[in-house]
């Protein structure tokens, strides 16, 4: 009953906001997303809100991050909600910046790094520089467990191996799910492991983890995650553009619901978010407090 009541109020408010506005379009809006836990939550949340509260329909297009940038530049997809700036996706963004629309910051305080379980002795491994020690390399079998090959974090990690002179190490790429599966196996056995990581991520709620110190800053500093859209999106879908522009979550808020999604499902966590944050959702949809 609470979920139905919340959605009725939000839908009614949006209907008032759109009354007398531009004619509703029935076009499908394609939003790209990558199988990262933060991307999955925010993209599916936006899709739910648009599908249930407007006359538009969102189709989610799952692909790697590089094709998403290409897609919004060419207009093959309408929007993406996972542009890590200024550093992580700098190369991708510079290629398309003049041909896309930046709809603003979705959340602040994101970061990248290499992560280890807390049971790995900090006296032996506290920084990327420590990885050059032969005993540490042997414990790790010369492996850094990464994510998909096209990710900005993967490119930065390759640079880190070179900059820190980590000879004998292999960056093992797979996917976000593959990385967390490897982390889960290692922690169950209390084996040493280094994974490429980022915040926000549900794994920080599931395991006791820490970032390794990156004294050279190769993996970057604090990041902001932006929403990008194809050129002309705001003119074609002004109301939807405003919804995506107004969406904003704190890092702690996002990370908490991501962990809920892990424990149950993304659909349930999104329903919980909508139920627990009606004023915030109403503002995103209508611009009214």
**Is the pLDDT reported for residue 199 higher than 60?**
yes
72-114 residue pLDDT tens: 999 999 999 999 999 889 999 999 999 999 999 999 989 999 9
Q: What's the pLDDT score for residue 19?
A: 34
- pLDDT confidence bin for 9, thresholds 50/70/90: very low
Q: Kindly state the average pLDDT of the residues 215-231.
A: 94
d(CA 94, CA 187) in angstroms, rounded, equals 39
Exposed e or buried b per residue across 145-179, where buried means at least 16 C-beta atoms within 10 angstroms of its C-beta: bbbbebbbbbbbbbebbeebebeebebbbebbebb
Neighbouring-strand partners of residue 83: 226
> The tokens of 181 are what?
């599966």
112-159 residue pLDDT tens: 999 999 999 999 999 999 999 999 999 999 999 999 998 889 999 999
d(CA 111, CA 204) in angstroms, rounded, equals 13
**Is the pLDDT reported for residue 206 higher than 90?**
no
Mean of all residue pLDDT scores within the chain: 90
35-68 residue pLDDT tens: 888 999 999 999 999 999 999 999 999 999 999 9
Instruction: Quote the pTM value.
Output: 0.74
* Dihedral angle of Cα 275, 277, 278, 282, to the nearest 10 degrees: -130
Kindly list the structural domains of the chain, giving each domain's residue range(s) and its CATH number in brackets, ordered by start: 25-110+222-286 (3.40.190.10), 111-211 (3.40.190.100)
């Amino acid at each position: 009953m609470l979920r139905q009541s919340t959605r009725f109020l939000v839908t009614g408010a949006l209907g008032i906001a759109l009354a007398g506005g531009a004619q509703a379009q029935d076009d499908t809006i394609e939003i790209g997303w990558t199988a990262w836990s933060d991307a999955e939550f925010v993209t599916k949340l936006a899709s739910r809100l648009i599908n249930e509260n407007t006359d538009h329909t969102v189709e989610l297009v799952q692909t790697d991050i590089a094709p998403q940038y290409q897609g919004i530049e060419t207009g093959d997809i309408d929007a993406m909600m996972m542009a890590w700036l200024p550093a992580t996706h700098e190369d991708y963004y510079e290629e398309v910046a003049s041909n896309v629309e930046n709809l603003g910051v979705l959340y602040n305080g994101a970061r990248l790094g290499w992560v280890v379980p807390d049971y790995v002795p900090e006296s032996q491994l506290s920084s990327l520089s420590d990885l050059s020690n032969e005993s540490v390399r042997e414990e790790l079998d010369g492996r850094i467990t990464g994510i998909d090959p096209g990710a900005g974090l993967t490119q930065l990690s390759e640079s880190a191996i070179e900059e820190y002179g980590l000879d004998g190490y292999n960056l093992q790429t797979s996917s976000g799910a593959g990385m967390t599966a490897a982390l889960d196996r290692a922690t169950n056995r209390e084996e040493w492991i280094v994974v490429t990581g980022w915040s926000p991520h549900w794994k920080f709620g599931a395991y006791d983890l820490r970032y390794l110190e990156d004294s050279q800053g190769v993996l970057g500093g604090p990041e902001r995650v932006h929403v990008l859209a194809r050129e002309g999106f705001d003119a074609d879908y002004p109301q939807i553009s405003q919804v995506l522009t107004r969406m904003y979550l704190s890092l702690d808020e996002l990370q908490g619901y991501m962990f809920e999604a892990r424990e149950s499902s993304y659909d349930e966590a999104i329903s919980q978010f909508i139920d627990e944050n009606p004023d915030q959702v109403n503002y995103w949809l209508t611009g009214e407090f």
